[in-house]
A and B are shown apart, each in its own frame.
Chain A
Amino acid sequence: MWKTFAYSISLILFLNCRLIQVQAQDTIPIPLKIKVGLEVSGPAIYYSDKNILNEEGYISVDLDEKYSAVFAAGYLNFKYSQYNYTYFNHGSFIRIGMDFNLLKPDKSQGKYWAGIGLRYGLSRFNSKVPSFQMTDYWGTTSSSLPPKTNWGHFLEACPGMRAEIFNHFSIGWSISIRMLLYTGTGKDLRPVYFPGFGDGTKTLAAGMNYYIVWNIPYKKINAILKKPVPEDTEDTEDNSDKSNSGTSGTKGNRQQGSIIRQ
């Protein structure tokens, strides 16, 4: 009877302890935000090179401390000219996708972001080649391509970083690696450059974006901090007991060591 009672008490205490442990799990308040970002390198590049104007921005909504839904949109006006051809392309694009914050909540604190974004991009552009020349055995042949509107599709991975430097304002950058899915132009007249993607003559394109972001907190959540799993204390104790019981001299040395460290 006493054994059963003692066992029951032990079980209740054990369960209670586990419950307290779960309830006492560390959490950190993380503000979820709506972020409005403006890409700043496009206008900066346009300042030095009037042939390319790329303006883009994005809105992202934090779904939790790790995931954000992103919608980006932009506009491109591109002119390119060299000795044998002139090319114009202008149009707009959208990108939709997700951002994944790889920082733990205690590190990110809702202010820092280091992670990767994945996007699908859709671009509508109008391109034309007012003139191009080709010189061969028969002489110089000149021609042109009339304006044509096309739709381009691509995928994008964009690892990067953002940091809140002032209250509600962040800066950051991301590297964009884009894979062309379809240009709608056919394989012979791929776009030299098109909105949202870049060099359309290649299947892969890379770019760099710099952002200024306005953060608007809309909700607070308590993010659970995952602690490293503690070692099994019973095993450790068992092992130490075994080692202690096996070599009593070692125990003495340990004690001496701890005394020396103190």
Chain B
Amino acid sequence: MRKFIPGSLLIILPGTIVLLLSCTQGSCFEETESFLKASFYDNATKTLIAPDSLTLYGLNNDSLIYNKTVSLQPALIPLNASTESCTFGIQINGVTDTIEFQYSSYPHLISKECGYTFYHQLDTLPKFTKHIIKDIYTSNKTVTNQNVENIRIFY
């Protein structure tokens, strides 16, 4: 026994040291942005139907989020963590509406590798114009980086 344990230690110690030294810093493979996920439904049949064309942009922002995108389901809508409300212009099959979201943002640690992001909590029901959009149903008020539907847009 006296010989057994020191011998084992000699074998196992270097192995574990190598194992420790081989630990490298990981990479971030997770979604780091929290998007509001909007699914599109046909108002007549209440079935999931993607628009033929979808254009989406934030008011007071020059760039487009989607530009005449075909058959998109769901749309990922980025909320601004620096403000408490956000208004988007949404063009469904060539007809434009606006949707306003009011929310509160809070930090969330994704992982050591990915760092922090902001989650959002929808405070009120979305306000919207009704040119093509008939109704908006809020299915989940918490906007996270997970793939969970937040609103249903009936058009």
Task: Mark A residues whose CB is within 8 Å of B.
Answer: 41, 80, 82, 84-85, 103, 107-109, 111-112, 114, 129, 132, 134, 136-139, 141, 143, 145, 161, 163, 165, 171-173, 175, 188-190, 192-193, 199, 201, 208, 210
Contacts and interface: CB of A to CB of B under 8 A. Distances in A.
Interface string B80-105: 11100000000000000000000000
Interface string B1-19: 1100110110011001001
A137 B58 contact: yes
Contacts of B108: 188-189
Nearest to B16: A208
A39 to B, nearest CB: 13
Max chain A Cβ within 10 angstroms of own Cβ: one of B5, B33, B58, B118:
B5
B99 to A, nearest CB: 15
Nearest to B64: A137
B6 A163 contact: yes
B46 interface: no
B70 to A, nearest CB: 21
Q: Secondary structure of the A side of the interface?
A: strand
B80 A192 contact: no
17 contacts: A85-B116, A108-B1, A109-B1, A134-B118, A136-B78, A139-B82, A141-B80, A141-B82, A143-B107, A161-B5, A161-B9, A163-B5, A165-B6, A172-B9, A173-B13, A188-B119, A189-B107
Contacts of A82: 115
B112 A163 contact: no
B148 interface: no
A243 B140 CA distance: 82
Given A114-B5, A145-B107, A165-B6, A138 B115 contact: no
A138 B116 contact: no
A205 to B, nearest CB: 11
A161 B9 CA distance: 8
Interface residues of B, number: 32
A136 B105 CA distance: 14
B50 interface: no
B112 A192 contact: yes
Nearest to A83: B115
Q: Counting chain A CB atoms within 10 Å of each CB, which of B9, B13, B82, B115 scores highest?
A: B115
B112 A201 contact: yes
Contacts of A129: 116
Given A112-B1, A141-B81, A188 B12 contact: no
